Every structure is written in structure tokens, then in C-alpha cells.
A and B are shown apart, each in its own frame.
Chain A
Amino acid sequence: MTTAQNAAGAAGVPPPAARGPIRTRPGDVLRSVAAALRAGETGAWRWGARVAVLLPFAALVFVVAVLAVKAYPAVRLNGGSFFTHSAWKIGSTYAQTVKTDGIAHPLGSSYGAWPMIAGTLQTSAIAVVIALPISIGCAFALTERLPRFLSRPLGFAIELLAGVPSVVLGLWGVLTFGPALSKTVYPFIATHLPNVPVFSFFKGTVGHGEGLLTGGLVLTLMIVPIITATTADLFRQVPTLPKEGGEALGMTDFEVANKITLRWVRSGIIGATVLGLGRALGETMALVLTVGAIFKVAPNVYSPMTTIAAAIATQLDSALTDGTGFSVASLAEIALVLAVMSVLVNLAARWIVHRTSRLGGPVGRAA
């Protein structure tokens, strides 16, 4: 009942030809407009959808182009030492502007991003290393161990944790979580760990709770829901028969979980973890508040430091005081580095998850 004829017929209006002279009534006009709209509807959907699907693509091109154009002078002048040096100095904005290779910059400016890059890798590493076993444990508890009346509300609680705005987590981290840990857990770890190579990073002064470890732990709390949700979905897809077969052969719970369920979805879990890593790399607000934002590679795990995302958030204001714009260009370069890192990680994760699961769903649900 879509065509104009049918619509008119249904309304009980006889064809105009049978009535001699054609008289148009207001209702007819409306009806013909509606019929025209219906006839054009498919085209409208098709064109609307076509335009809409191109917009993310256009936005991506725009974003990359802006970053590349802005970063170009910085990439040329900073060169390879951008990745190895540790000094991030705007230089003297009151002194005479200097030109190197035709690029203007303030006297004494120097841009080395190593502390931020190292900091980003450190916080993300802490988060992923702690989050992975916890998430797998949570996923097992939610899908296999707990009764349904418990696992449903607890699963929702984890989903809610994923939805908590990162700035709220940061606020809690800096006001409550960090100070509490620095008075109780950190001193305990610092005094009781042996002074051997890896653990010595955990020795030394504990500080007041703003630093690498606090940031890493808050980040852990943010990515656990992501990894847990994906892993639990994967576990639910493991067919029951092999598990029952394992039990019938006399395997224990642990052996079924370890040798059947985990093996079945192993690469999917890797994908979920990499997805969490991508989130950790780009996280800004929770870390700005909890890591202390100091441009230094942390000498121990409790010291204040910074990450790329946190540095962009805190530096743009002062970068604007640089009249030559070179400081903004250097920020564009570091932003580009961060974007490349997290896009590569995200694509890898999606590829792994897509390849291993027939789940059509949005894999990184808790974005």
C-alpha cells in the first residue's frame, strides 16, 4: 500500500477522470505530497546514508591533515632527538626569535618527549599487567562460577564502573585512593620488597600518592571492565559439549577452565587486552589528576611523572604564549605520535578480535 494510486484508492477517492472536470481539493494536494514523499523515500534514505557514512571518513582525513600540517615544522626541526631527549622547554618568549632552517622558534627552546613517551608506556604497562589476570578471573566468576542471581547485578556493577567519567575517577584517585595507598600499602611494599633489579623500582621514597603507581592503578580500574566484558562474551561462546566432555573425563574445574575454555578463546583475550591497552594509551583526565604531571622519567614507581595525553592537556595553555607557534607545533608532533600509537594498537585489537570471534557486536563496548 505504498504507491500514490493505492493511497488514493484506500481513502475512497474515485479516479478524477470519472468526474469530468478536475477539481483539486486541499486533501488531494496533501495526498499527492505524501505520495511523492513516499516515492522518494528510498532515495532519501540511500543518499542520506551515503553522505553520513562519508562524514567519519572526511573527519578522519581532516584530523590527520591538521595534525600533519601543524606538526611539520616541529618534525623537521626537532628531528630524531625528539624521541630521546628529556627537556621540554618553550624557551625565552621575551628574547629575540631565532630561525633555524627557516623555522622560527624562541631562543633556547628544546623539545624532547622521552619522559612522556616512557610515562605513557609505563602507566599502560602497569594497567595491562594487573588488569589482565583480574579480568580473566572476573570473566570466569561471572560466566561460570557464580549463580545467575549474583552474576547479573555484579556484571552490571562492572558495566557501571566502565561508565564512570574518567575525571570522576581521577578526582577520587587524587583525593581518596592515592593518599590512602601512600599511607598504607606503598610503605609496606617499599620496605618489604627485596632490593633486586626489577623490584628495586618499587623501593625508595613513597611520596603523597600522586605518581606512576597511583595513575597505573586508576587506569587498571578503567580498563578492567573493558577486558572483562569482552572476555566474558567470549567465554559464553565456548560450546558446552567440550567442557562437559572434559568433566566426564574427570577433569577438575581448573583443568576445564585452563585447558578447554581458555584455549578456545585465547587469541580473543589477547585482542581484548590490546583493546584495553589502546584505551590506556589515550586516557587523559584520570591521569592528569593522579600522576602529578611532572616532566621527568620516574625514578621509582611512586614518583610523579607525566604521559603524552596528560602533557597535551596541561601544556596547551603555556604553548600559546609562544608567539612563533613552534610550541604548538611540537605539541602537534607529540599528539601525532600518540594518535599513531593508539590507532595502531586499536586496529590490531579489532583485527585479532574480529578474526577470532563471530561476535558482530561492538567489541570495545565500554569506551
Chain B
Amino acid sequence: MTRTRRRSVFTVVFRVGTVLALALVLAPAAWLVAGVVSRAAAHWQWSVLWTNLYGEQGGLLGPITGTLILMAGVLLIAGTIGVLAGIHLAELGRPRRGGSPGGTWLRMASDVLSGFPSIVLGYVGYVALVVGLHWQFSLLPALLVLSVMVVPYIAKATETALRQVPTNYREGAEALGMRTGYALRKVVLRSAAPGIITGLLIALAIAGGETAPLLFTAEFSSGVWTGSFIHAHGFGYLTYLVFTFWSYPSKHANYLSYDAALILIVMVLVLLVAARIVVARTQRHSEGAQR
């Protein structure tokens, strides 16, 4: 093979290869979505959305509300802590003398925490909270473990979003005589909001789709949440159904697990599309501002 010939062969292989690689990912992804949708659609009844679950009978009202409650709780706990932590790392932490941003050790701790396998966090939640503090399987230990999981993520997203706010904005606010806190709320946070909201939405998607840390902190209960944060007898959520009900002998239980899988996928889709819309809208604005 001549040199020229070899070069053109490599080029063709490269061109085909890139598209092939994309197909190798997208084909299973399409297969996955089609598989989940077709399994659920074959027997789909809208009534599962508002019917209670009794053992293996009924609908998914309890687990659906459970997942929503978990997401709301995570938004409240992890959202507050994560955003504040991000503000500290990006804005309020004292910079080092060399000019590099401060909080290196705290950021490192956050990174280490985000590298922790979720099942290990679940194990610690079980040993320390469910058994150690006698909280039993209930909402609060589940919320705490999920929050520990996503706080580093939200903090990182917030810090990144804040660092992208131009320094001019802060200087302008200071020149107008604003106090640091007021300027932070009215100017800096407002322009960083899209990035922060995107981070929160993706954290919500993670929290709603998580199973491993919940298995040993919330376990499961088929009823709707009774209002107790601790000392409950389990707390229901969708991913548990997907994990267990598919292998039960009863057909209806299997159907419920397929339905739960479909609802989870739709939920993630909605959250990611929402995040995309937030990003797209701000990109349009910033392009307009540049002109």
C-alpha cells in the first residue's frame, strides 16, 4: 500500500469510526428507552398515578409522592447548604496571599465527598442514623444521606456559576455604594442564577433517580407519607419498586415496576429539558448584551 493510499484509508476509517461510535452509544440508548416505554405502555393505566399501593396491588400514589417529597427535601436541605457553600468558595472566602482563591481544603473535602460511592454513604446512614440513633427506616435519614451526596455537586455548580460573573458587576455595585451582602443578592447572585438553577435541577434528577443510599435508610413502605420524619416504618419511593417488583411472581407487581421505570425516565427528561431551557434563554440574553 502506498503512503497516499494509506492516508486516504485512514481518513475514511476515521470518518466512519466517529459516526459508528456515536451509533454504538445512541442505538443502545434508543433500545433502552424503547424497551422501558414499550414494557410500560403495553398495559399502561393512568389510574396508577393516583391509586394507593396495597402490598402488590393498586397503583403508585405513595411511591410517586415519596420521590417528590425526597426531591423537595433535598432541594431545601442540600440546595441551601450547597448554594451557601458555593458562595463561600467563590465570593466570601478570603483569598490567599498569592492571589489564588481560598478554601482549598474545604473544596478538597467536597471533592472527596463527591467521590464517595453512594452505597457506602447509605451504609453509614444505616449504621449511624437508622440503628445508631434509633431513627428506624424513615424520611430524615434518607434525606440526610441524599443531601450529603448532592451537596458537593450543587456547591461546585454554584461556585462555577459565580466565577463566571464578570468582576465589573461587583465593582460597579461597590461604586454605587452597595453593601457586600446587598450586592451579592441583587447583582451577583442574580446574574449567576441560571448556572445555579441548572445545578439544582440536575441535582434533583440525581436525587430522584438514586436507589443505593435509600435502600438502607428509607427501605420501603407502600403507603403515602404519614408526616413522621423519624421512627417511621419505612418510606416509599419509585426506584425501590423498579429494583424489587420486577422479579415478583405477580404480574401486576411486574407491571408496577415497569410503570415506575417509565415515570422515572419522564421525570429525568423533564428536569434535563428544564435545565436546557434555562441555559438556552440566558445564552440568548448574553449574546444580546454583547452586541
A residues lining the B interface (CB < 8 Å): 2, 38-39, 41-46, 48-57, 59-60, 62-63, 66-67, 70, 133-138, 140-142, 144-146, 154, 156-161, 163-172, 174-177, 221, 224-225, 228, 252-255, 257-258, 278, 281-285, 288-289, 309, 312-313, 316, 328, 331-332, 335, 338-339, 342-343, 345-347, 350, 360-362, 364-365, 367
| Shortest Cβ gap from B62 to chain A (Å) | 18
Q: Known pairs A66-B128, A163-B205, A221-B25. 7 more at Cβ < 8 A? A: A49-B85, A49-B93, A57-B110, A62-B128, A138-B21, A165-B210, A257-B14
User: Smallest Cβ distance from A1 to chain B, in angstroms?
Assistant: 8
User: Would you call A134 and B148 a contact (CB within 8 A)?
Assistant: no
As a 0/1 sequence over residues 114 to 157 of chain B, the CB contacts with chain A under 8 angstroms (1 = contact) are 11111111011011100010000000000000001001110111
Check if B7 is an interface residue, CB within 8 A of chain A.
yes
The answer to the question of B272 belonging to the interface, with a C-beta cut-off of 8 Å to chain A, is yes
The smallest C-beta distance from B35 to any residue of chain A, in angstroms, reads: 4
Complex CA gap A364/B106 in Å reads 18
Within 8 Å by CB of B18, from A49, A59, A145, lies: A145
B268 engages A171 (CB within 8 Å):
no
A168 touches B264 (CB 8 A): yes
- Interface set of B (CB-CB < 8 Å, partner A): 7-8, 10-11, 13-15, 17-22, 24-26, 28-29, 31-32, 35-36, 39, 80-85, 87-89, 91-93, 103, 105-106, 109-121, 123-124, 126-128, 132, 148, 151-153, 155-157, 160, 163-164, 177-182, 184-185, 199, 202, 205-206, 208-212, 215-216, 239, 242-243, 246, 257-258, 261, 264-265, 268-269, 271-272, 276
Whether the Cβ atoms of A42 and B93 lie closer than 8 Å is: no
- Given A338-B117, A343-B116, are A38 and B182 also a contact pair (CB < 8 Å)? yes
Which residues of A are found within 8 Å of B127, using beta-carbon distances?
A: 66, 70, 328, 332
Chain A neighbourhood of B177, CB < 8 A: 2
* B117 and A309 form a contact (CB under 8 A): yes
Measured CA separation A284–B120 after assembly (Å): 10
Query: B243–A285 contact, CB under 8 A?
Result: yes
- 4 pairs of A and B residues whose beta carbons are closest in the complex: A137-B21, A282-B117, A165-B209, A346-B115
CB of B246, distance to nearest CB on chain A (Å): 6
- Cross-chain contact B116 with A163 (CB below 8 angstroms): no
Partner of B151, one of A56, A257, A313: A56
- Between B25, B114, B185, B206, the greatest number of chain A beta carbons within 10 A of the residue's beta carbon is seen for B25
Complex alpha-carbon distance, A161 and B22, angstroms: 13
Q: Which residue of A lies closest to B89 (CB)?
A: A53
Chain A interface main SS type: helix
Distance to closest chain A CB from B84 (angstroms): 3
Distance (whole angstroms) from the CB of B122 to the closest CB of chain A: 8
| Minimum Cβ distance to chain B for residue A178 (Å) | 12
Q: Which of A45, A168, A367 lies in contact with B206, CB distance below 8 A?
A: A367
Given known pairs A45-B87, A285-B212, the reply for A254 and B13 (CB within 8 Å) is: yes
Please name all residues of chain A whose beta carbon is closer than 8 Å to the beta carbon of B211 when the two chains form the complex: 165-167, 284-285
Please state if A53 and B24 are interface contacts (CB–CB under 8 Å). Answer: no
For B19, give its contact among A49, A59, A141 (CB under 8 Å).
Answer: A141
A50 to B87, CA, bound (A): 9
Is B126 a contact partner of A43 (Cβ separation < 8 A)?
Answer: no
- Contacts A168-B36, A281-B117 given: A57-B106 contact, CB under 8 Å? yes
B265 touches A52 (CB 8 A): no
How far, in whole Å, are A46 and B157 apart by their CA atoms in the complex?
19
* Nearest neighbor of B245 in chain A, beta-carbon distance: A171
Contact A361–B160 (Cβ < 8 Å): yes
B92 touches A49 (CB 8 A): yes
The residue in chain B whose Cβ has the minimal distance to the Cβ of A40 is B181
Chain B residue contacts of A350, Cβ below 8 A: 111
Q: Within 8 Å CB of B103, what residues of A?
A: 53
Which residues of B sit under 8 angstroms from A316, Cβ to Cβ? 123, 126, 215-216
Residue in B7, B177, B209, B269 whose Cβ sees the most chain A Cβ within 10 Å: B209
